[in-house]
Amino acid sequence: MKKINVILVEDDDVFRDCLAEILELSNISVGGVNCAMDFYQAINTNQYDVAIIDIGLPDRSGLRLVEFLRENSNIGIILLSGLSAIENRVEGYNCGADHFFVKPVDSIELVAAINSLYTRLSEAPTVLEDTIGHWSLDKGSWKLVSPAGLEVKMTAKEMMFMGALMSCAGKNITRQDLSNSLNYPADDYGNRSMDAMVRRLRKKSAQELHEHLPVQTVHAVGYCFSSPAIVLG
């Protein structure tokens, strides 16, 4: 019998490890991460059947992760929370969760929910086909993440520049539009500043990500991000 593959997003290390151990005993394979950034990296490189997500993550609300999964996949989604108020449950379901569990979690019920979701969804692909192998830019943590999952911090101007390019990946963006995004003057000074930024970014990518940054210079036009990309946050 195939193991159900689950990603467990929980920042309480003791609770996460304990829950993962219980699930593993029920023929459920668990990949545990403790923050949203690690979640995005894991989901881009692995195939999961069900996601179990704690709402109260340190770097981003788990609800935003639920919305991301619901918009980009058909993965089964189970929310965890220490809050039991009806408005919290409603918000979770409105974001796209299939189940909402209040801590402490009854492990028998949780296993039953996972099995039920897997049975219902097993005939449909759950891979995030549109994001695997992509570059990603996380606005929440100011990081550029390579397809291999390596990351590098961005400055404010670098975030603005990469955000403008990556949100329109595959399209040529004019220098004028990029200058407007960066609040640079549309003159030689602005152009030199932009070109210097691109050189720094390419150097960063080579040294810290060990990847060629797919920012292409388009002669007499501007720049283009020539690889698949997603912008988060």
Domain positions in the chain: 4-121, 135-232
H helix or E strand, kind and range, residue 136: strand 135-138
Cis peptide before 104 (omega within 30 of 0): yes
Query: 156-166 and 188-204 are packed helices; what angle lies between their axes, rounded to 10 degrees?
Result: 90
Would you state the pLDDT for residue 111?
Answer: 94
The secondary structure of residue 107, as a DSSP letter, is H
Q: What is the mean pLDDT of each run of 10 residues along the chain (233 residues)?
A: 88 93 92 91 85 93 90 87 88 92 92 90 53 77 86 91 91 92 86 92 91 90 90 79
| Rounded (to 5) percent helix, strand, coil in the chain | 40, 25, 35
- The two three-digit tokens of residue 230, written as one number: 């997603």
Q: Which two tokens stand for residue 67?
A: 């919305």
Sheet strand arrangement including 229-232 = 151-153, 143-145, 135-138, 229-232
Tokens representing residue 39 in the block: 């979640």
Residues 77 and 228: their CA atoms lie apart, in Å, by 26
pLDDT of residue 30: 95
pLDDT value at residue 127: 44
- In the 8-state DSSP scheme, what is residue 3? P
| CATH for the 4-121 domain, from 3.40.50.2300, 3.40.50.740, 3.30.70.20, 3.50.50.60 | 3.40.50.2300
pLDDT of res. 1: 57
The pTM assigned to this predicted structure is 0.57
The two tokens of residue 176 are: 């004028």
Domain 135-232, CATH 3.40.47.10 — does that match?
no
Helix residue ranges per DSSP H, 32-143: 36-45, 62-72, 86-95, 107-121
End-to-end CA distance of the chain: 38
* Contact status, residue 216 vs residue 171, Cβ threshold 8 Å: no
